[in-house]
Structure 1
Amino acid sequence: MALQDAAQIVMRDMVEADIHAVADLCFEQQWPHREQDLEMLLSIGTGLVAEVDGTIGGTIMSWRFGDSVAMLGVVIVAVAQQGRGLGRKLASAMIERLDGVTVILNATEVGRPLYGKLGFTELSTVCQHHAIAPAQPLVELRQGERVRPMGAADAHVLKEMYSSSMGMDRAALLETLFAESSTVVLCHEHQQTGFAMKRRFGRGWVIGPVVAPDAAGARALIAHWIGTLTGSFCRIDVPEATGLGPWLQEVGLPEADRVTRMALGPAPVPDREVTLFGLAAQALG
């Protein structure tokens, strides 16, 4: 028996003390996550690590959104441990914990075949756009519209809007993001119709979530934040179906990568009155 095959693998709950090792795995995979980003993700969810002879060789996290939906993310296997089925073991263990709910994830091209074998079906494509933010003129608003800073009275409305746009309860997540982000609200005749958030992430800043009634509203919200980030690294993850890709390319944020949204179980049904135009994070959906 090869020494590698004789290695002892121990799977256990991820704890805060593991974050430095998880960040090292992210760095090895050329993922941008800082320790602060991973700490936030763990604080609102749960995780597993696979220790191989006492060293963390793989990770996975999950987050529940209401009683019927959960997300998987931060699925990493160290380069030295790949090809041994560690990713499948981690995913299967976490899915077992989430028994009875629909499980959703955004799969890389490398990970997509594994999730297909586990029973996940493909739903859609999410496109990652990033670059050093260029100078950006504001998008002209329609009559009666304005973009303003979020006020204390907006929180409840934005939570309902975000949850409706995804067909799942996102209130607790948004409460956490309020503390991490700056938020602007799109209004029409004093009625909130959309919002967009900006926060530190990875190499610079991420814009998301972005929720709006239509693409014109989404462009106005996104342009507002791009305009504040001129000269800084800026990222946004958008569902391909929103059609925002060509516009983002035009304003100087080219597509850098894409992932496949997959589900194990019935996919949640969003409300058609508002649309999710930008993700909070690939892991969180």
Structure 2
Amino acid sequence: MFEAGEVYAVDAADGDGLAGCVVVTRYGDSLAGVGMMLVAGRYGRQGLGTRLMEHALEVAGDRVVELTATRFGRPVYERLGFRTTGSLTITMGPMQGTAWPSGAREATPDDHAALLALDAEVTGADRGKALSALLATAERTVVTDGGFAVAWNAGPHRVIGPVVAPSEEAARELILAAAHGADRDVRIDLLDAYPGLRPWLTGLGPAEGPAALPTMVYGAHRHPGDRGRYVAPILISMG
């Protein structure tokens, strides 16, 4: 996120760290993701969140801006003109003993260009810089006909994302292949592409978070691209 995005912060007036921060990730000329919009508790309800978001929108320029909202940030986003387009469900926990599916295989360097092109088609933006950085450090990248998934370790979790799939069956195979042999709990943030994935995944062990989070967009009526195939983002804070 720090390599692909731009991090902005406000120093705390009391000299103790930061009062707030926000990260803007620009994807080509058409899309920007906003995440990590955080305000220290002692500076809450003073308009700092609004100021940070206004700055993020200035940085984004004419791009469509997307984010996933928490209950704390949603009122700020709505006042600024963001509209809800769907939801994201954080799902995490142990997922062990799954067999490698027959419909997926590990990616090779020869798949790189096609993978980036497919991501651009589905998200409506050139995310090559961020994805290339992720692929360089990923634990595993798996592909199927018309889809891919990236698995990478972050602390106690194997994160699976992004995931692009042409069908629910393909999405299941990609997730199983990406999670295969994980030595830690799995985390995948599921979007609305295939609602049947949520009960299927929790049936394998991971548990859903306490509530779905709204996905929101600014500057358009909907997210660009073909989001009907977008199963999971890179990160909740990157889109």
1:216 aligned residue: 169
1:1-285 to 2 correspondences below 5 Å:
41-53=1-13, 54=15, 55-139=17-101, 141=102, 146-187=103-144, 192-229=145-182, 232-243=184-195, 244-256=197-209, 257-266=211-220, 267-271=222-226, 275-285=229-239
Q: Deviations over 1:162-211 (max 9, x none)?
A: 11111221222211111121333334xxxx42111111124321011111
2:235 corresponds to which letter in structure 1? Answer: A
Q: CA RMSD in A?
A: 1.8
Change (3 A) 1:84 1:203: farther
Q: Which has the higher contact order (CA 8 A, sep 6+)?
A: 2
Answer with 1 or 2: which has the greater Rg.
1
Instruction: Extract structure 1 runs of 4+ deviating beyond 6 A.
Output: none
Q: TM-score, structure 1 length as denominator?
A: 0.77
Kept in 2: contact 1:147–1:184 (CA 8 A): no
The alpha-carbon deviation at position 150 of structure 1 amounts to 1.2
Runs of at least 5 residues in structure 1 that lack an aligned partner in the other structure: 1-40
Distance in 1 of aligned mates of 2:18 and 2:218: 27
Q: Deviations over 1:126-156 (max 9, x none)?
A: 11100122322344x4xxxx32221111100
2:224 corresponds to which letter in structure 1? Answer: V
Calculate percent identity across the aligned residue pairs.
29
1:108 corresponds to which letter in structure 2? Answer: T
Change (3 A) 1:258 1:201: farther
How many residues are paired up? 234
Kept in 1: contact 2:24–2:59 (CA 8 A): no
Kept in 1: contact 2:107–2:143 (CA 8 A): no
Runs of at least 5 residues in structure 2 that lack an aligned partner in the other structure: none
1:250 corresponds to which letter in structure 2? Answer: G
Change (3 A) 1:119 1:76: same
Kept in 2: contact 1:186–1:217 (CA 8 A): no
Q: TM-score, structure 2 length as denominator?
A: 0.91
Kept in 1: contact 2:156–2:185 (CA 8 A): yes
Distance in 2 of aligned mates of 1:101 and 1:223: 34
Change (3 A) 1:215 1:151: same
